[in-house]
Each structure stands twice: as structure tokens, then as C-alpha cells.
Amino acid sequence: MIYVLGSVNMDLVFDVPYMPVGGETLSANTFNTFCGGKGANQAVALAKLSSKVRMIAGIGSDGYGKRLKDNLIACGVDAEHVRENGGDSGLAAILVENGENRIILHGGANMRVSASDVDAGLKDAKAGDILLTQLEIPLETVEYAFKVAKEKGMTTVLNPAPAVPLKNSLFELTDIITPNETETEILVGVCPKDIVHVALAIKEFYKRGVKNVIITLGDRGAAVSHGQNITEIEPRKVKVVDTTAAGDTFVGAVCNRLENGWDIVEACRFANCASSLTIQRHGASDSIPTISEVEKVYGGV
């Protein structure tokens, strides 16, 4: 079983001809709403890849909350522990220009996810299960959840987004961390601009107590640490439509393959194929591929 503790957002997506400057009003080419949030996207990715996944999250009592929970259920996610906690739901305003996005978050119900939610959601978890989380919920809840997970013998996976400075106590509880380039620089002060700096960044993560590191590098692919070795994962060359949920698809796919007994390097190659499909489509959870779609691409690599 894979448990996802994290955010559920309604994404308000504006496709724009260019990014506006201060004081400018700009007409969008198109506007759409999509069910998203890093936690929800990762849970949906796992469900579409045939994993049994439980979501632990908070939604608001506004009109968005029910739609967000219903979408998780429709995608095959166990949403019993997606709890209405009052107030407004999480929201994300997303500007998309030529496939690249800029995102503004409003935490809403995500910031009311608590230790009691963790206790309820992980009550049946056992050794060998995976706990995946991000940083769109309170940091104290993330660290508490990892402590509970380690006591149960679970594998902990941290997708540190959006990146904020973290205490070593959280790094030490992390089996696998999956930052992108920007997050890596914020967390350890090293920009992974080439393989030399990737190695330096991974060394810094090790110093802080992380067991394994996967750095996603955008159109440069990814880099994976395993023991003292670093493997570069080559990107797939595809037409980029929208990068929303690409990282979430990647992380979900890694956890899916690890659950199936794959080694971390081959899991990342599979995840690279999955995320390359996501960026060819619009939306968040709607853009995430199914297991059969990814297997076709992976088998052709």
C-alpha cells in the first residue's frame, strides 16, 4: 500500500500569450478549472499506474471540496481520509505560457491537515508500505508523519515542493528525496547545473541525513544517487504542451515501481517515460497517463 499525505487544490488555469508585468491586465487565450494539488496529483498518478493508494488530506466546506474528493474517488484513490475541515479549499492560480507554468498557491484546508489526520490515515500501515508527502501542508505535520512512518517500518519519500529551508531532523527521517533544480538550490545551496554540481548537491543531502536522492532536471532528465554511484536519466524529446503535474507524475511513478520491487534507477527511467506523456497534455490530474500508456512508451525506449 502507498499512502499519500498532502495537498488537494482546485487549479484555475489561464493559458496566456506571455507573462504579464506589474500593473498590467492581460486577456487569457483560454481558462479551465482542473482538480490538482501536488498530493492529489501524486495519488492519482499512483492509482492510474495500478497502485493501491490511500490519500490523507483536507478539503474545505466550499463548493470545490466535494468536487476534489469526488475526483479522487473516480480516479481509484481511497479517499476515506480526505477530511472536510471547514473554511475554503486549497486553490492554485496557474499561468501557462508556451507549456511553461507559473503558480500561485492558497493553502486553505491543506494548512489545517494535522497530526490527528496522520494517526487516522496511517492506523493500518505496516512495514514495507510507502509514505509519500510534499510541502503544501504544515511542516510539523510532515515531520510527525515521517516519525510515525519510521516507527512502523515504512519507506518515506519526500517531494520537497514548494521548497523551504528544512531541519536536519526531517532529512534524517527521509529515505528518498525528490527535488527539482530550484528546490535543490534552496535546500542545500547548490544549483545542479551540470553533473559536477549534481554530485555536490547529492553530497550535501547525504550530509543532512537523506538516504537516497533523485534530482529532476527538467529537459535534462534526472539524476539518481544509489550508494556511491550517480546515474543520469536521459530525457525523452517530446512536444511540451503543459508542464503542470509532470513532477508529480514522475514521483508517483517512482513510488509505483519501487512498490513493485524495481531498483531505484530503473524506477526513474520508467517515471521519466510517464512524465513525458503528462507534459504533452493540458491539465493536472487529467493529464496523467495510465499504466498501459506508460508501458507502451517504456517498452519502446
Q: Which residues are catalytic?
A: 248
Q: Give me 88's grid cell.
A: 475554503
Cα distance between residue 143 and residue 165, in whole Å = 13
Q: Give me 73's grid cell.
A: 474517488
Beta-carbon contacts of 116 under 8 Å, excluding residues fewer than 6 positions away, are: none
Cα distance between residue 274 and residue 245, in whole Å = 11
| 50: phi then psi, degrees, rounded to nearest 5 | 80, 15
Helix (H) or strand (E) holding 251: helix 246-259
Beta-carbon contacts of 248 under 8 Å, excluding residues fewer than 6 positions away, are: 38, 41, 42, 45, 159, 284, 288
Contact 50, 288 (CB under 8 A): no
3-state DSSP call for residue 283? Answer: coil
Contact 72, 43 (CB under 8 A): yes
